[in-house]
Amino acid sequence: MARGAGAEYFLADYTRLADVRELAAGIRRSVDCIDVLANNAGGIFGERTVTADGNEKTLQVNLLAPFLLTRLLLDLLQAGEGSVITVSCTGLRCPGSR
């Protein structure tokens, strides 16, 4: 979407928290403030898998990595009076909830 709109965008592998830290550093080099941070990542990965950081993969991708990125960029978000959009899917619902 960003490419089609001509907007700058950044990508990272949320299974590696070092990538998330590099992403935050790259964003910091590029902008003075952030208007919108869209955390658009997630999934359910079946069998339990542990990341190189020692966290369960689903937990890290869906919760820990977006939280870390948001925290690392919080001052830039505040400078731009920015919003954080975190996308999730219905696949993460508890069984039986509707």
For residue 66, with 0-12 CB atoms within 10 Å meaning exposed, 13-18 middle and 19 or more buried, which class applies? buried
State pLDDT tens for residues 42-90. 777 778 999 999 999 989 998 999 999 999 999 999 998 889 988 876 5
pTM of the model: 0.81
CA distance 1 to 79: 25
| Residues 6 or more apart whose Cβ sits within 8 Å of residue 20 | 12, 14, 65, 68, 69, 72
State pLDDT tens for residues 8-52. 788 899 999 999 999 999 999 999 999 989 887 777 777 899 999
* Residue with tokens 């070092």, as numbered in its chain: 18
| Two tokens, residue 88 | 């999730």
